[in-house]
């Protein structure tokens, strides 16, 4: 696949290296640069774009640091395997994958309408012995296990059909009970994969995982979900935009 054309605005206050970085990043996101594809060398890029090699090198090094490119002596610079990058927003992974052109697949591990879990009940603001709806799933993207999803819902969702979770997002189904989350609190940490988690996600024991716990609320303020999800760090990243007030 040929290298997408690069337009550099030399009158812009945006640094040239950053313009090149963003162009390559967006080309990867759009699929114009595919996993495994080799980029031209620094010398080739510098000649084609009339940009200094140090400027080229800085853009490439930052993309390597972000996990989008890999560099190996004798092999060159290549696009890494696709990484799912999600901005911090209250969205479903299933819908995000679909919107980005990926093919989501779901394996249901457990679905229990009579689950008693004291911690989950407390996070939902319910009595410790309240029966909760609990589901565990493995989410795949293009056939590769990406995440282990564990959700607890209050009894109002007891009629949820688990078969639909194979082809639809949980949040879309929750919307049928006017319970689609509209705001949530999240806690993001890191942990090592247990033997069971490693087997389900097809990774090595103790491989780093991104852990995300979420308590979600519907538009009325009622708590509608507690989740404790695990994501493969080699295929998943969280993006945050920050502002200087």
In a domain, 6, yes or no: no
What is the number of structural domains in the chain? 2
For residues 163 and 236, give the distance between their C-alpha atoms in angstroms, rounded to a whole number. 26
Q: What is the pLDDT of residue 224?
A: 95
Q: Could you tell me if 106 and 165 are in contact, meaning their C-beta atoms sit under 8 angstroms apart?
A: yes
Please indicate, yes or no, whether residues 88 and 71 belong to a single structural domain of this protein.
no
Q: Give the span between the Cα atoms of 14 and 205, in whole angstroms.
A: 43
Q: Has residue 176 got a pLDDT over 70?
A: yes
**pLDDT at 197 exceeding the cut of 90:** yes
Q: Is the Cα dihedral 191, 196, 199, 200 positive or negative?
A: negative
**Helices 16-29 and 53-65: angle between axes, nearest 10 degrees:** 40
pLDDT score, position 122 = 94
Q: Which residue range forms the structural domain that includes residue 96?
A: 84-239
Dump pLDDT digits (tens) for 6-44. Answer: 888 888 888 888 889 888 888 877 778 877 788 899 999
Q: Is pLDDT larger for residue 99 or for residue 31?
A: 31
Q: Determine the pLDDT at residue 124.
A: 95
142 & 186 share domain: yes
Among 35, 63, 79, the domain-final residue is: 79
Residue-wise pLDDT for 59-90, tens only, equals: 998 888 777 788 887 778 888 765 555 555 56
| CA gap 134, 136 in Å, rounded | 7
pLDDT exceeds 80 at position 244: no
Whole-angstrom Cα distance, residue 147 to residue 231? 4
- Compute CA 184 distance to the chain's CA centroid, rounded to the nearest angstrom: 17
* CATH number of the domain that residue 173 is part of: 3.40.1410.10
Q: Mean pLDDT of all residues in the chain? A: 86
For the ranges 21-25, 132-136, 172-176, 180-184, the one whose mean pLDDT is highest: 132-136
Based on the fold, state whether residues 130 and 213 are members of the same structural domain. Answer: yes
Confirm whether 113 is domain-assigned. yes
Q: Indicate if 98 and 202 belong to the same structural domain.
A: yes
């Amino acid at each position: 696949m040929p290298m997408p054309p690069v337009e550099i605005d030399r009158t812009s206050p945006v640094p040239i290296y950053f313009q090149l970085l963003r162009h390559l990043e967006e080309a990867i996101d759009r699929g114009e640069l595919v996993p495994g594809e080799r980029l031209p060398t620094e010398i080739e890029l510098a000649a084609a774009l009339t940009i200094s090699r140090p400027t080229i090198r800085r853009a490439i090094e930052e993309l390597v640091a972000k996990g989008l490119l890999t560099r190996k002596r004798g092999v060159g610079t290549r696009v890494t395997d696709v990484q799912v990058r999600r901005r911090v927003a209250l969205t479903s992974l299933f819908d995000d994958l679909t919107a980005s052109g990926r093919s989501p697949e779901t394996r249901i591990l457990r679905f229990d309408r009579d689950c008693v879990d004291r911690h989950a009940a407390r996070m939902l603001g319910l009595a410790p012995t309240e029966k909760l709806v609990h589901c565990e799933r493995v989410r795949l993207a293009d056939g590769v296990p990406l995440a282990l999803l564990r959700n607890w819902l209050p009894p109002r969702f007891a009629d949820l059909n688990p078969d639909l979770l194979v082809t639809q997002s949980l949040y879309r189904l929750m919307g049928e009970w006017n319970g689609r989350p509209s705001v949530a609190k999240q806690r993001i940490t890191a942990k090592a994969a247990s033997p069971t988690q490693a087997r389900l996600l097809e990774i090595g024991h103790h491989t780093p995982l991104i852990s995300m716990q979420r308590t979600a609320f519907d538009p009325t303020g009622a708590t509608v979900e507690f989740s404790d999800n695990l994501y493969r760090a080699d295929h998943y990243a969280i993006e945050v935009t920050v502002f200087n007030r």
